[in-house]
Structure 1
């Protein structure tokens, strides 16, 4: 599998700081190209959200640089997902302790995706998302939010959830929850597009608008990929999205 990947982030129209943090790590290895992509959304309602998201990103960047080569000897995506889950639990404890020492609250979501050979693993906490885009657009992660839980229970419709004031209420996040239980997803990588994004990217545009703009056949090079994501970000801002807006776009072929 071959990859092109780009990242774009915008502070948005309201906030003074961008609390989102993004990471792309791309390497040629004995098992072919390996790609790591992560989106972390520092909690906008909490102080020092950018510290939380950047701390988590650094930990996983270091993991890629120091631990990946050992995992490539006999890669097991489920095992890697378990190790990432333990890392996030440890980071959660460390950030909680830091917050107590500083008398403050801080937290971040996490959606990370690793491709090795023809397989991927996603580890997920919060409401950042991963999508697969081809002839259709498929959400690969499950939002860990109050409204998503109520939709699953049948007490709220998706239309009601979009307008509900509690739509950003997370059930867990790294650094602000006593315990975190990350979602681990494994799958077979297919040719097409993959996208990771913060919630600010997806509130004001539809899944179909994303699919049409980021369909894999349109993504001929990185310049075009940046152009497409930048156009979407400007469209989102024109629709008055108030959050930071971040996206990672991957073309797999």
Structure 2
């Protein structure tokens, strides 16, 4: 299995700083190709949300470049080890950002959604309300929003349509840096051939439909990295034209 990838991030039409951060890696190892993508949506006063998201991105990329590459080359990669590594990163960053906030009398934090694709499996770690989708002949959400409204929908106290317009739709149940305890979701699944794995901040998805995403970034619409890039930029501009006020970020990895 091989991969191609693209991404786009935009400050949007209203905010003074882009507090989203992202990264993507594709490498060839002796035990097979691997792809890693991550997106973080920071929050906090001034540029502190940007600091939070960038710090978490850096920590995960350092893990990938050093620990994962080492384990893949030696053939010692395990899912248990992966979960332990990812949970340790999140707990360390939660404490570090929390301490920084306490010392500087401010609140800062970030969502994190990351996917590792390796040996025909995908592994996801998720905190907050950024999302990861799988686009094949259908549009499938792989992550669950850790938000107030998502919890209300799950408990039958709110409909999906009500949740979309509720003013509390961005209230997070937890995030890295601003929660006393962080319990990330870990998800595993089988990677599909000719699929697109899409990671996005909430600003990317509020103003567009699943059909519009599939039309520009679905597997039938994207046979090259150039077409992936075009789709990312096109949809970002569409979201801005519809007056989305948040930062807008998307990462896509296609399998073939």
Q: Which TM-score applies when normalising by structure 2?
A: 0.96
CA-based RMSD of the aligned residues comes to 1.3
Residues 115 and 188 of structure 1, relative CA distance in 2, 3 Å threshold = same
Q: Which of the numbers 219, 223, 231 marks the counterpart of 1:220?
A: 223
Does the 8 A contact of 1:13 with 1:242 survive in 2? yes
Residue 61 of structure 1 aligns to a residue whose secondary structure is helix
Which residue number corresponds to residue 92 of structure 1?
94
Does the 8 A contact of 1:78 with 1:121 survive in 2? no
Which residue number corresponds to residue 36 of structure 1?
36
Residue 247 of structure 1 aligns to a residue whose secondary structure is strand
Q: How far apart are the structure 2 equivalents of 1:3 and 1:81? A: 23
Q: Which of the numbers 207, 212, 215 marks the counterpart of 1:209?
A: 212
Q: Give yes or no for the alignment of 1:61 onto 2:51.
A: no
Q: How far apart are the structure 2 equivalents of 1:118 and 1:181? A: 26
Residue 174 of structure 1 aligns to a residue whose secondary structure is coil
Instruction: Give ranges in structure 2 of 5+ residues lacking alignment.
Output: none
Q: How far apart are the structure 2 equivalents of 1:177 and 1:47? A: 19
Which residue number corresponds to residue 74 of structure 1?
76
Write out the 4+ residue segments of structure 1 that deviate beyond 4 Å after TM superposition.
Answer: 44-47
Q: How far apart are the structure 2 equivalents of 1:136 and 1:44? A: 36
Q: How far apart are the structure 2 equivalents of 1:234 and 1:47? A: 24
Which residue number corresponds to residue 8 of structure 2?
8
Q: How far apart are the structure 2 equivalents of 1:244 and 1:85? A: 27
Does the 8 A contact of 2:111 with 2:128 survive in 1? yes
Residue 173 of structure 1 aligns to a residue whose secondary structure is coil
Q: Which stretch of the first structure deviates more once superposed, 182-191 or 67-76?
A: 67-76
Instruction: Give ranges in structure 1 of 5+ residues lacking alignment.
Output: none
Which residue number corresponds to residue 25 of structure 1?
25
1:113 positional shift: 0.4
Which residue number corresponds to residue 244 of structure 2?
241
How many residues align structurally? 253
Q: How far apart are the structure 1 equivalents of 2:204 and 2:123? A: 22
Q: How far apart are the structure 1 equivalents of 2:140 and 2:44? A: 27
Which residue number corresponds to residue 157 of structure 1?
159
Over residues 89-117 of structure 1, what are the superposed CA-to-partner deviations in whole Å (9 max), with x where a residue is unaligned?
A: 11101110011111111100000000111
Q: How far apart are the structure 1 equivalents of 2:57 and 2:112? A: 9
Residues 240 and 12 of structure 1, relative CA distance in 2, 3 Å threshold = same
Which residue number corresponds to residue 48 of structure 1?
48
Over residues 20-40 of structure 1, what are the superposed CA-to-partner deviations in whole Å (9 max), with x where a residue is unaligned?
A: 000111211012211110000
Which residue number corresponds to residue 182 of structure 2?
180
